Copies of this chain bind each other. A is one copy, B any other.
Amino acid sequence: MTEAEILRRIQRRLPALRNSSLITGIGDDCAIYRPSGSREDLVFTTDLLIEGIHFLTSTHRPGDVGHKALARGLSDIAAMGAMPRFCLLSLALPTSITSQWIDAFYQGLLKLAALHRVVLAGGDLSRSGQITCDIVCAGGVPRGQALLRSGARAGDEIYVSGTLGGSALGLAGRRGAATRRHLRPEPRIQLGQHLRRRLHATAAMDISDGLSLDLDRMCRASGVTAAIDHVPVFSGATMQQAWHGGEDYELLFTVPRGTRVSATFQDIPLTRIGTMLAGTSRRSLRPRVLFCGEPVPALGHDHFRS
């Protein structure tokens, strides 16, 4: 089974969102809850970070693990155009972990939290066989204005922030900027605000599992096909790493045709990579992502693909 298949099995079992304050459930970067009487919608996301699956203690220092645990959640908040409000952390640790490790882990997490004014509000602690972090991030966004991955329309122009493949290059052993990108990804919170308030983006999501898979997800959610003609590649990375590498935590977004998008936002490049075309039917097996006219397989990272 793939992750998408497990998700479909779960969704088939779920009752419809009737008479609920839950606006969006499973299927976007965050769930959206509308508190009664509030001017603000709240968005929620959870992200696992597990030793041996998402990181190795031989390459990630404890501070890197703490940073990355929170960065993964904040990246989802950014993708909704929301401002982070608070987070909760469930942490399960083997008996071999020292108090020094725990201190350095929280130092990495709380430094990033302070940078984005996120309060650590609670969580859970347990023993386990491998280091397991589950971060819950909550954000706030003006009522009805959250950016969804389902909003892209035929004719919209497709953009990405930054360059892609850097994290994969860092994972593959390249030192310097690529390693920093891999160990200490920077959630694009301010950019998410810019997309929502200034660019009136029609859709947005973060690129966590690789452009090929995440763009396929946006196309499925929006019912469109992406025609890509250019991908901005991290210096030294391969095209393969840029398309399928994952963990870049840049933002993928669409804007109405003709929107003026500046070349950079706070020194982060914003690059037009293509155009959304009319989609195929929901059940069609035709490719949803084309690169210079050729279909691109959704090879990005899926934990459950055998």
Query: Interface 1/0s, chain A 5-37, versus B by CB < 8 A?
Result: 011011001110100111001101011010111
Q: A80 → chain B, closest Cβ, in Å? A: 12
Q: Knowing A50-B126, A106-B10, say if A33 contacts B120 (CB, 8 Å).
A: no
Known: A9-B106, A46-B88, A52-B128. 18 other contacts (CB 8 A): A22-B86, A25-B119, A31-B86, A33-B42, A35-B35, A35-B140, A37-B40, A46-B89, A46-B123, A48-B124, A48-B125, A48-B128, A50-B92, A50-B126, A50-B132, A53-B128, A90-B90, A127-B303
B38 touches A88 (CB 8 A): no
Q: How far is the CA of A103 from the CA of B191 in the complex (A)?
A: 39
Q: Tell me the chain A residues, 228-254 only, with Cβ under 8 Å from chain B.
A: none
Measured CB to CB, the nearest residue on chain B to A111 is B13
**B102 touching A9, Cβ below 8 Å:** yes
A36-B38, A134-B46 as given contacts; A122 in contact with B90, CB under 8 Å = no
Q: Is the Cβ of A13 less than 8 Å from the Cβ of B106?
A: yes
CB pair B102 A46 closer than 8 Å: no
Measured CB to CB, the closest approach of chain B to A22, in angstroms, equals: 5
Option from B44, B85, B86 in Cβ contact (under 8 Å) with A122? B44
Q: Complex: how many Å from CA A21 to CA B88?
A: 15
Q: Number of A interface residues, CB 8 Å?
A: 67
Alpha-carbon distance between A118 and B165 when the two chains are bound, in angstroms: 40
Q: Is the pair B20, A119 in contact by a Cβ cutoff of 8 Å?
A: yes
Bitwise interface map of A from 110 to 141 toward B, beta carbon under 8 Å scored 1, else 0? 10001000011111111111101010101010
Partner of A48, one of B7, B42, B90, B130: B90
Contact B13 A45 (CB under 8 A): no
10 cross-chain CB contacts under 8 A:
A9-B103, A30-B122, A31-B88, A35-B40, A37-B39, A38-B38, A46-B134, A46-B136, A50-B132, A130-B130
In the assembly, what is the distance between CA of A130 and CA of B52, in Å? 12
Distance between A31 CB and nearest chain B CB, rounded to angstroms: 4
CB of A186 within 8 Å of the partner chain? no
By beta carbon, the residue of chain B nearest A50 is B128
Q: How far is the CB of A7 from chain B (nearest CB, A)?
A: 7
Q: By the criterion CB–CB under 8 Å, are A132 and B121 in contact?
A: no
Docked-complex contact A120 and B10, CB < 8 angstroms? yes
The contact of A121 among B22, B53, B119, B122, by CB within 8 Å, is: B22
A107→B35 CA distance, assembly (Å): 28
> Does A99 lie at the interface of the complex (its beta carbon under 8 Å from any beta carbon of B)?
yes
Partner of A38, one of B13, B37, B99, B303: B37
A194 at the interface (CB under 8 A from B): no
Say yes or no for A282: interface residue by CB 8 A criterion. no
- Rounded to whole Å, the gap between the CB of A37 and the closest CB of chain B is 5
- Inter-chain contact B127/A33, CB cutoff 8 Å: no
